[in-house]
Every structure is written in structure tokens, then in C-alpha cells.
Homo-oligomer: A and B are copies of this chain.
């Protein structure tokens, strides 16, 4: 039981071991430089006192922290979880620690978190999406902290990025929907404000519509917050305002599951009465009944590649570029051709 003393310092250990602080520091950082006997002495003192280096002091003296920070919009759902887990595992294997903060999809909080992580000595940052206030990039530049953007790919953006082409992928998915014969399409999108992924996905829908000669301008679309419930409410509204829709394209799987749930609640069968598609291919997509047609995102691959790339950048071994990963379409039960015009129905 320690009296109430504050944490032991290098100095305490040095005194206890009868050596200088420099020697203790070496014991921590490069024990091979010490004699077997001094090493033993110091070791005993360290253990007895329960010494751990003070991080702050260490950073100040050594400049490097071996810490990477990541700021994700939310921890509350699976979208970022799997990729982040892979990111963290890869970092760990390379001797880096991951610190995570979440911004609740708010740019002001994100900025605060960026400052917080940087001032805590993060050697590099993982961010989601390209959209943020211009001051942020300047800040990162003056602080000399590199950042990598994930979950979206944009060769033209200022920051290096790793991810997939949200717009192209959504277009490809909608082209499948159109190929099946759907013409009356509605969209449930996540809030597009300050969320380039959501924006690009909507653009992808419009691309496909326009290319098929359909009216991309007057696309029925409802924007909503994140969550199964939100998806359900959005579905109801969309269908009430546009009763003739045969396919609902959702900006992500969570919204899509909400839409499917609500469809059932309204007495609509999926996919017989209405088709539903998602985006992300989270685990949930294959659990629901019918399984969700969606865009498969290589979460784990993206996470570990992001880690490797960010480490390279942090260690000055490369400058960072835009890397595009493939996002493929997964056709599953929630998408089927629309009902034939009533007159033709056998029943």
C-alpha cells in the first residue's frame, strides 16, 4: 500500500537502484547497452516501485509517440467497426497504438478531436471522408501531422485517401436495379451535409438514372439521420408521397434494414411488392430476411491497408497517394424484378 505518493519517476528508480537517471532510461529504451548486473539492479528497482514512464515527458524529450489517432463519425454502428478493428490490429503489429475518438457526424466536434489527438502527440491521423473546414488542413500542415482519409477514394483531394469510389459503385448497383426492369425508384439517403460519401452515393443514383434516359432531376429522395428507426420512418414517408415506387435505394445497409422492416409493417412484401437495396455489406445484410442486395465494401482490407499506408507516411517512407479499392455488387433476395402490370398477373 503506497502512502498516497504520486507515481514513481525515473529519478525515484535511479535512487532506489543506486544509478543515474540516464542508466534507468537506457534500461527502458535499450537494455542491451547495460551490463547484466546493472540491468538486474535496475529491474528490481523498477518492479519494486511499479514504475511506468511518464508519457508526456517522454514525448517532449523524444518527439515520437508511436501513436495513431482515428476519428470516426460514430462508434454506434457496424459501418466503421470492422475496418477500424483491422486498422488497429495492423497498427499493433507494427508497434503503434491506436487512439479512437468519435465525432457524432459533427464537423465541429471532429475538429476538436483532431486538435485533441494532435496535441496528444499522435504521429498520424486517420479521418473519414474529405469534407472539412479549410483551416483543418492548414492546422495539420503546421503541426506536421500527416493524415489519411479512408472510406472514400478521391484522387483530386488534398489529402491522400484509401477507399472505393462511392459514386461509381452506387451507379453500378442502380444499373442492376434498372436492368431488372425497375423504373420507379426512390432514394433514402443519410444526411448529405458534410458527408461526401452520402453525397456521392446520391450522385451515383442520378448517374445511373440519367444514363438510362430516366428523369434524374425529380428523383424522389428522403434524407434522414442514421439508424434503423430513421430508415423505417423515411421509408414510410417516401412511400406515402410516392405510392408508385417499386425499388428503394438506400444510402447504407442500416437504413435499408429499417426500410425493409417498415415495408413489412405496412404490409408490403420484399421483394415482391418493393425491392430494397443497401450499401456497405455489413454483417446485418446477410442476417435479415430476405438478405439485402448491397455494395460490398472490403472493410478489413481497407483497414489494414490504411494502417500500412499511414505508417509508411508517418515514417517518411512515402508521401501518400489515392488508392482505390474495389467495391463489388452483391445481389441478394431483397432485389427482384418489379411486379408485372396487374392485368398480366395470373391470380
Q: Are B101 and A97 in contact (CB under 8 A)?
A: yes
What 1/0 flags go to A111-127 for Cβ under 8 Å of B? 00101101111000000
Question: Could you tell me the distance between the alpha carbons of A143 and B257 in the complex, rounded to whole angstroms?
Answer: 47
| A328 in the interface (beta carbon within 8 A) | no
Select A78's contact among B55, B77, B98, B115, beta carbons within 8 Å.
B77
A1-9, A147-155, A307-315: which one contacts chain B? A1-9
| A50 in the interface (beta carbon within 8 A) | yes
| A21 in the interface (beta carbon within 8 A) | no
Given A49-B142, A142-B8, A142-B50, CB of A85 within 8 Å of CB of B76 = yes
Question: Could you tell me the distance between the alpha carbons of A288 and B144 in the complex, rounded to whole angstroms?
Answer: 48
| A334 in the interface (beta carbon within 8 A) | no
A56-64, A185-193, A195-203: which one contacts chain B? A56-64
| A53 in the interface (beta carbon within 8 A) | yes
- How many chain copies does the complex carry? 2
User: In the complex, which residues of chain B have a beta carbon less than 8 angstroms from the beta carbon of A142?
Assistant: 2, 5, 7-8, 49-50
Q: Are B53 and A56 in contact (CB under 8 A)?
A: no
User: In the complex, which residues of chain B have a beta carbon less than 8 angstroms from the beta carbon of A120?
Assistant: 55-56, 120
Q: Are A85 and B74 in contact (CB under 8 A)?
A: yes
| A228 in the interface (beta carbon within 8 A) | yes
CB distance from A291 to the nearest CB of B (A): 11
Chain B residue nearest in CB terms to A113: B97
Q: Are B56 and A55 in contact (CB under 8 A)?
A: yes
User: In the complex, which residues of chain B have a beta carbon less than 8 angstroms from the beta carbon of A4?
Assistant: 144
User: In the complex, which residues of chain B have a beta carbon less than 8 angstroms from the beta carbon of A99?
Assistant: 99-101
| A41 in the interface (beta carbon within 8 A) | no
Given A60-B57, A257-B287, A287-B261, CB of A143 within 8 Å of CB of B7 = yes
**What is the interface of chain A, defined by CB distance below 8 A to chain B?**
1-2, 4-8, 49-50, 52-60, 74-78, 81-82, 84-85, 88-89, 92, 97-102, 104, 109, 113, 115-116, 118-121, 138-139, 141-144, 228, 257, 261, 283-284, 287-289
Q: List 20 additional contacts besides A57-B60, A74-B85, A92-B109; criterion CB under 8 Å.
A: A1-B141, A4-B144, A49-B142, A50-B138, A50-B142, A52-B115, A52-B139, A55-B119, A58-B119, A75-B81, A75-B88, A76-B78, A76-B82, A76-B85, A97-B113, A99-B100, A99-B101, A100-B101, A120-B120, A288-B288
